[in-house]
Structure 1
């Protein structure tokens, strides 16, 4: 089992969420976060003065999946739908999960990740 964590632009969330749902990955956690990457934020000019915004609003999207094949599918979907081609499009991290437990039923492992009732 794996956790795919993606940091994406807030304006791309609906597109990514819809694409994941259409592909059979409806379960996700979405967290509003702030962050910066290599570009260390953005520089604005106002009345001949520069100011830097070094922590930008982002979305942290978490999707738990059962197999490596699912990991690749989710990565492909996120990359396709979150990309603008400009710096700040985000990052994806893949983390190995030891276990998962559905609170309501106490199902464990891949059974806990199943989308079927």
Structure 2
């Protein structure tokens, strides 16, 4: 099993969520986060004064997936979140050693 974490722009969330649902991924955890990468933040004007924010709003999507569909999930997220701009995001993949469904006690891929 794999644990996939994707950091995306907030306005791309609906597209990514719908694309994942079409691909058969129904379980998803979403967290509002902020951070920066190569774009180093952004300049904004507030009440006539310009200020620079080094932290940009992003969404962190997390999902546990079977090994067999890892590549499909990565491609679906990459295509749906792609805006051809700096700051479109990143996808990280981690090995997931186990999962347990609390209600039934099922383990491994059965718990997904």
Same fold (TM over 0.5): yes
Residue 84 of structure 1 aligns to a residue in which SS?
coil
Unaligned runs of 5+ in 1: none
Counterpart for residue 53 of structure 1: 53
Map of 1:1-117 to 2, 5 A cutoff? 1-44=1-44, 50-67=50-67, 69-113=68-112
Unaligned runs of 5+ in 2: none
* Cα RMSD (Å): 1.7
The alpha-carbon deviation at position 44 of structure 1 amounts to 3.6
Shift of the 85–101 alpha-carbon distance from structure 1 to 2, 3 Å rule, reads same
Count of residues paired in the alignment: 112
CA distance in 2, matches of 1:29, 1:46: 32
CA distance in 2, matches of 1:111, 1:47: 54
Residue 70 of structure 2 aligns to a residue in which SS?
helix
